[in-house]
Each structure stands twice: as structure tokens, then as C-alpha cells.
Amino acid sequence: MKLKIAYSSCPNDTFAFHAMINELIDTEGIEFSVDLADVEQLNKSANLGIYDVCKLSYSTFFSICDRYIMLRAGSALGYNNGPLFVSLKNNFSKENLADLKIAVPGEGTTGALLLRTAFPECKNLIPVLFSDIEKGILEGEFDAGVLIHEGRFTYRDKGLNLIEDLGSYWQRSTGLPVPLGGIAVSRSIENDIRQKINRILKRSIEFALKNPDKSAEYVCENAQEMDTEIQRKHIDLFVNEYTLDIGDIGQKAVETLYETASRLRPDIKNEKLLFIE
């Protein structure tokens, strides 16, 4: 069996998937045709049903969860690793949020959802490729922006200032880890195959954790930030116990974000089962 799979070029994804797509582990007879893309491109592609298995922002997943279901392995979820709301000015005023041009890494990203949750006054949100947001703020194209992935490690060195750590905001509000993205599989695929994919991915992550040097070249050639120390920090932050298995706490965090999104957006689907069983 051959399946079409897509994930981001970010270090946590390339680290996690390296072993399975290169058949360094048992893939149980499944071959994978692989595409790498920006997270918002993945969100849009999944909305079109292009892939059998696809990395998704949880925010987008909630609007298509009638067609996709989440694997228990592979999620980017945890404490102190959420999106950052930043600006160039250190005397930023929260009183004029409605007037600001704010760059977000895609309408369907969890970063955009968390910004709307924390700052409902923000109205002028402009989707931008995540790796271009820092530059856009620095050059005055945007007043502020939401940084994800490697940007959280570099923004201070670039001269940007933190307005709000949106992940910390979520943690203070809920006491739960922040759910960023996960690996979704089409509901048209039979459950025994979904379980097999989940086992393969978990096996791939375990291999990567035990053999981090094996994936180093693959991670480096796809990363936006070429500093290997930052790549390592990225992996250490986003690949954790919830990546191996979402667990009860992780699942509660996703369900809480689902309820939050349902109150804010009319496009959220009413689906009781979000994860494979």
C-alpha cells in the first residue's frame, strides 16, 4: 500500500518523520509518497483532501474533522512552546489593537486562533508565510506579528519585543499545554490502517530520539533557520511526551481548544471523536 503524506519542513517534523520515510524502521508494508510544505499550505491542502496523512494546525483540523481524524502520535503540543505576539516597538500600546496591521502565519493556524482568543480586538490580521513575519515587522510592513517555529528563538536578537506569549496566556487560562498541530489521517482510510500508521510514526519518533544524528542532515537541509543549535532547541521543545502519544492531558487540551474555537467560529464541525482509538 502507498499513501500520500505531507508535513512541514520544520525541525520537529523532519526529525520525527525521517526514519519512516527512509525505511529505517519497520513500516509494516506501507510506502509513503512525501511532500513538505509550509504549515498554512498544509492546512489548505488538507481542506482540499489532497493527502491521506497530513500535518495540520489544530485550528484548521477543527473545521475539517468530519473528514480527518488525528493520530495519537506526532502532535506538537506542550508547555512554554506557544506562538509569540511581537512588535518592533518596546512601548507598544494595547489600546489601539484594532488599528494595527498584524501578520499571522495563516488564517488556519493555531497561532491566529490564540491571538483572537487573547486579543479579540485584533481585526486586521494578514496571512504571511511564517518565515517572512520577522522581516515584515522589522521593515515596517506590519505593526506586529505572531511568530511560530524557529522565530521564537531569534526574535530578541532581531530587535523585536514581546507583547504576549500566547502559549503562556493559554496555560494561565486553562492550566493545560498548548495544542499547536497534529498528524491527521483521512477518515476514508480503514481504522486498522490508521492504527498501523500511528504505530509506524511512533516507532519513527522513538528511533529519532535514540539516534538524533541520523536525521541531522535531513533536518538541516529543510530548516528555515540554519543554526544547528537553534534546530536542536526547536526539536527539544516541540518533540516531547505528547509527541509519542497525546495522552489524557494532551487530549483534554485539544478538546478545550476545540470548545474555544467553536465559540468563536461558525465553521467548526460537530465531531465527538477527534482521535483514533
Asked if 82 contacts 149 with a C-beta cutoff of 8 angstroms, the reply is no
Q: Which helix (H) or strand (E) holds 114?
A: helix 110-118
234 is catalytic: no
Amino acid letter, 44: K
Among candidate residues 72, 149, 152, 203, the one labeled active-site is 149
Q: Which of 83, 75, 191, 58 is nearest to 133 (CA)?
A: 83
CA distance linking residue 171 with residue 167, whole number of Å: 6
Neighbouring residues of 154: CB distance < 8 A, sequence distance ≥ 6:
134, 225, 230
In this structure, the number of other CB atoms found within 10 A of the CB of residue 237 comes to 17
Compute and round to an integer the Cα radius of gyration of the chain.
18
Q: What is the DSSP letter of 215?
A: G
Q: Which helix (H) or strand (E) holds 2?
A: strand 2-7
The CA-CA-CA angle for residues 135, 138, 144, to 5°, reads 95
The length of the chain, given as a count of residues: 277
Q: Which three cell numbers stand for residue 183?
A: 498528524
98, burial (CB in 10 Å: exposed 0-12, middle 13-18, buried 19+): exposed
List, by residue number, the catalytic residues.
Answer: 149
